[in-house]
């Protein structure tokens, strides 16, 4: 074996340096350095991957090996798959985050104070939630109704087919159940349906309409968006496409109901002082939403339709669709408030004892009663707040027992002191098929996607002012105080961290350090850090220290159950997932720059996190360059591909596309480099 003299001197010198730090055996009593014989290596020298073992190996075979990371792709994979925060923590954190932001009931001293508060809540919700932004143009559109065939030959009533516009170009099919003998003013009832695919033809809904018509009431049975004749054409989660464009996606839902009331009250025999709304499940949600906000409704019977946002945060089955958690609703009201807002009118709260779907009586009902009862009492109307718990069958239903409780409440409110039979009138033989109740609709009838496609054509629109400030305000970008906690076993090459974001979130991260550090790369990926071993290996080989993290909603930070529904609730309590993600990324970038003394390159892999990555780069100049692989190139792709909140909940940031597409966001990062691959 031949080794050049200069090489031998270098190796021998390095060996002395390594061995001198091996431990007490490497020094004599005077502190002078001694070379330990090769036959007596210390324990640290024999450690795999140590500098001493590296030198010994290079001398033994006559080669000198470069000083580079010894981590294999397999070892990197193992490190990336290391559990840092676990699957329970992201769920627990989002539950606490959402729950803590739900408003409490206001304290009022008298009926006048409450009425003023209720009026203010009603104005705020209608102005700032329901008709927010571009949806305001739909608020006062004139009622348009078209009538079709009448189904005659029925015992004591007829069914008239009609359709009405909830907003220009969006027609709602409906059925009007009209008593054959009408004299004077009579009560009117709007029966709204829930998530039954059969829509307005659902048997229990038909039976309710028939029973009320046989009692002399005029009844409207409107179709619900996404159900019945609308099934498979307009999913509820697509409503958030309108939010992205700056028009409240909740507006069509509300107009579907308010225009339905317009139809009923336009009837010459309608008694405007006796107006009721009732429905099951999603119909129960419709009932409380329209009844609390539209004072034309005098009696409401929501059946297994809602619970407080506080309850929903802890009971996953109660987490509602997009319409139940509209952007920023909880800045003004919880569903407890909406229930109490019926105190000047009447409400029957119906829940089922063993409901396996949602809003079971045991957890959903008590908080609503606790919130509303004091207000009803304050107004001297405690008897107008009633509740019923169904035990037979006790499942998710609006069957005979629950219907009879509704009929009884109608008698109490609309027919006081009069002879009135609240028992169910058998009518099963009169149930019509789906096909028999179909109402013609135009081929080009609007839906959420068609409205959003129209709105986005001229977006984003120009504006004056500070673009950076507006962007960060729109996404509600968070400026977190970060605490980095090491977790697991330490090594020179791999460290695991829990990055605590104030008191709200914990972000898992793994830091890989090569032997010779040339720069820092912060790595995020839609598929999570555990799938990025090849990428990490390539970066290490290029001399990059890699900080691989999983921001909110991705990778190990994924919410383990009903994930996107928690994000919808997060938006309802006034926060934005994009702002949380960008804030986390920015905070860790600032930490990395301070900790390691170098600016940070941010690498994002996948379309979804590429949006938060851009915003984070706007948020902090600790990120000196941005590399986006397989990025989203336009927010308009969310609408073109007809994505819903169930696909990309974090993208449904109210009004973002109204003023910013991704090109505009990238311009705010300049002159720093942005690479798209």
Which pLDDT does position 670 carry in this prediction? 96
**Strands of 346-352's sheet, edge to edge?**
145-154, 157-167, 170-179, 218-222, 186-192, 270-280, 299-303, 346-352, 385-390
118-456 matches 73-98+466-676 in CATH topology = yes
Which pLDDT does position 29 carry in this prediction? 31
Q: What pTM was estimated for this model as a whole? A: 0.89
Contact 156, 179 (CB under 8 A): yes
Contact 322, 567 (CB under 8 A): no
Count CA within 13 A, CB hemisphere, residue 239.
Answer: 22
Which pLDDT does position 28 carry in this prediction? 34
Q: Which distant-in-sequence residues (6+ apart) come within 8 Å of 657 by Cβ?
A: 244, 245, 246, 456, 459, 460, 635, 636
Chunked into runs of 10 residues, the chain (677 residues) has average pLDDT values of 39 36 35 36 37 36 42 96 98 98 97 98 99 97 98 98 98 99 97 94 98 99 95 83 98 98 99 99 98 99 98 96 98 99 99 98 98 98 99 98 99 97 97 98 96 98 97 98 91 95 98 97 98 98 98 98 98 99 99 97 99 99 98 98 97 98 98 96
Contact 157, 214 (CB under 8 A): yes
Phi-psi region of 291 (alpha: psi -120 to 50; beta: other; left: phi over 0): alpha
- According to DSSP, the β-strands at 157-167 and 170-179 are antiparallel
Break the chain into its structural domains and give their ranges.
Answer: 5-60, 73-98+466-676, 118-456
Which pLDDT does position 70 carry in this prediction? 77
Cα separation, 174 vs 15, whole angstroms? 88
Cα separation, 364 vs 667, whole angstroms? 48
- What string of DSSP letters covers 579-610? HHHHHHHHHHHHHHHHHHSS-EEEEEESHHHH
Cα separation, 567 vs 321, whole angstroms? 11
Q: Where are the beta strands (DSSP E) in 457-552?
A: 482-487, 494-501, 505-512, 519-525, 544-549
Q: Which distant-in-sequence residues (6+ apart) come within 8 Å of 37 by Cβ?
A: none
Cα separation, 122 vs 415, whole angstroms? 29
DSSP 237: G
Q: Is 130 helix (H, G, I), strand (E, B) or coil?
A: helix
Token pair, residue 343, equals 């105190």
Fold of the 118-456 domain: Rossmann fold (3.40.50)
Contact 497, 595 (CB under 8 A): no
Of 3.40.1280.10, 3.30.1490.100, 3.40.50.1820, 1.10.490.10, the CATH number of 73-98+466-676 is: 3.40.50.1820
Cα separation, 457 vs 119, whole angstroms? 37
DSSP element (H, E) containing 573? none
Q: Where are the beta strands (DSSP E) in 75-214?
A: 145-154, 157-167, 170-179, 186-192
């Amino acid at each position: 074996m031949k080794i050049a003299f200069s090489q031998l001197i270098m190796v021998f010198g390095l060996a002395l340096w390594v061995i001198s730090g091996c431990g007490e055996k490497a020094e004599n009593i005077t502190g002078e350095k001694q070379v330990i014989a090769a036959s007596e290596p210390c324990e640290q020298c024999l450690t795999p991957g140590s500098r001493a073992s590296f030198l010994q190996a290079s001398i033994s075979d006559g080669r000198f090996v470069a000083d580079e990371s010894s981590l294999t792709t397999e070892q990197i994979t193992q490190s990336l798959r290391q559990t840092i925060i676990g699957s329970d923590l992201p769920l627990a954190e989002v539950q606490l985050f959402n729950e803590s932001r739900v408003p409490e009931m206001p304290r009022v001293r008298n009926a006048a104070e409450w009425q003023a508060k209720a009026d203010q809540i009603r104005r705020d919700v209608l102005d700032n939630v329901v008709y927010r932004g571009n949806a305001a143009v739909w608020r006062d559109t004139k009622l348009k109704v078209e009538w079709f065939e009448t189904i005659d030959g029925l015992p004591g009533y007829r069914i008239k087919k009609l359709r009405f516009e909830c907003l220009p170009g969006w027609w709602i099919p409906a059925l009007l159940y009209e008593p054959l003998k009408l004299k004077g003013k009579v009560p009117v009832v709007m029966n709204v349906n829930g998530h039954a695919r059969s829509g307005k033809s659902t048997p229990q809904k038909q039976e309710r309409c028939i029973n009320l018509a046989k009692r002399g009431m005029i009844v409207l049975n409107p179709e619900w968006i996404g159900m019945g004749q609308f099934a498979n054409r307009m999913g509820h989660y697509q409503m958030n496409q309108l939010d992205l464009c700056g028009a409240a996606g909740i507006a069509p839902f509300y107009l579907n109901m308010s225009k339905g009331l317009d139809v009923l009250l336009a009837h010459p025999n309608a008694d405007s002082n006796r107006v009721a709304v009732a429905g099951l499940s999603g119909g129960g949600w419709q009932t409380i939403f329209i009844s609390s906000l539209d004072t034309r409704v005098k009696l409401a019977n929501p059946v297994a339709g809602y619970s407080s946002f506080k309850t929903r945060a802890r009971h996953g089955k109660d987490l509602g669709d997009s319409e139940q958690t509209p952007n920023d609703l909880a800045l003004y009201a919880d569903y407890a408030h909406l229930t109490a807002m019926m105190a000047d009118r009447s409400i029957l709260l119906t829940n089922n004892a063993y409901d396996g779907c949602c809003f079971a009586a045991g957890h959903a009902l008590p908080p609503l009663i606790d919130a509303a009862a004091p207000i009803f009492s304050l107004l001297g109307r405690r008897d107008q707040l009633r509740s019923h718990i169904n035990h037979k069958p006790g499942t998710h239903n609006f069957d005979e027992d629950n219907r009879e409780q509704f009929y009884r409440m109608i008698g109490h409110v609309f027919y006081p002191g009069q002879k009135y039979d609240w028992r169910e009138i058998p009518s099963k033989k009169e149930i019509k098929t789906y096909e028999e109740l179909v109402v013609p609709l135009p081929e080009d009838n609007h839906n959420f996607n068609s409205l959003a496609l129209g709105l986005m054509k001229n977006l984003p629109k120009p504006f004056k002012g500070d673009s950076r400030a507006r962007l960060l305000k729109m996404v509600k970008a968070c400026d977190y105080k970060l605490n980095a906690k090491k977790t697991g076993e330490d090594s020179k090459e791999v460290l695991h961290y829990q990055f605590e974001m104030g008191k709200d979130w914990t972000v898992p991260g793994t830091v890989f350090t090569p032997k010779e550090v040339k720069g820092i790369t912060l790595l995020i990926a839609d598929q999570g850090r555990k799938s990025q071993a090849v990428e990490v290996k390539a970066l290490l080989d290029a001399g990059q220290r890699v900080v691989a993290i999983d921001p909110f909603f991705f990778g190990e930070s994924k919410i383990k159950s009903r994930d996107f529904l928690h994000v919808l609730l997060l938006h309802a309590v006034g926060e934005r997932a994009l702002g949380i993600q960008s804030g986390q990324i920015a905070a860790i970038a600032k930490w990395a720059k301070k900790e390691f003394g170098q600016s940070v390159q941010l690498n994002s892999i996948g379309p979804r996190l590429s949006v938060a990555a851009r915003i984070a780069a706007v948020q902090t100049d600790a990120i000196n360059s941005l590399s986006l692989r397989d990025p989203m190139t336009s927010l308009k792709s969310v609408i073109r591909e007809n994505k819903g909140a169930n696909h990309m909940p974090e993208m449904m940031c109210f009004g973002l596309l109204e003023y910013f597409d991704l090109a505009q966001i990238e311009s705010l990062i300049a002159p720093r480099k942005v690479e798209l691959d």
